[in-house]
Structure 1
Amino acid sequence: MGVFQTLMKKKELIPLAVIVTLAAGGASSFAVYSLRKSDVIIDRKRNPEPWENVDPNVPQKLITINQEWKPIEELQKVRRATKG
């Protein structure tokens, strides 16, 4: 017996099937969205330090409210000392 035949025989299961399908689709979509973010490391060999490529003007959160970015002077000094 197929899924559609079962749903046609027991129509009370249709809302449940729709809700479960939407939840699975939403979870899958969010997982793919999260993997495309810059703070997720999938391949450490090709890009061992992905945080160096993050643009501070682009919000990294799903929702960002009043975000201001200011460079920390101590970190800038350490970065200059280690790269130079």
Structure 2
Amino acid sequence: MRAPWISCITVVALLLFALPALGQAADQGFNPQPLLEQGVELLKKGEADQAEPLLRQAALAAPEDALVYFYLGSAQMAQSEYSDAASS
């Protein structure tokens, strides 16, 4: 009867200790600039379908960067994804 509770407590404790470490990894070091630059270059070449995933990743990494959203919206407009572009 004790084993299920011990297992449950162990799992919860591990999760509680792991969450701050995951947050620190996100804060410490992913630079979205190369993704943005690659996305912009692809967009300039007319390859909006290839640029969009890169720009989406850049937007996730830098949600405060308006320039990323400008180019993401531009890529979506180029693909006639008007409702997605309006929300970007």
- TM-score bracket, shorter-length normalisation: 0.3 to 0.5
Higher relative contact order (CA 8 A, sep 6+): 2
TM-score (norm 2): 0.36
TM-score (norm 1): 0.37
Name the structure where helix makes up a greater proportion of residues: 2
Q: Indicate the structure (1 or 2) with the bigger Cα radius of gyration.
A: 1
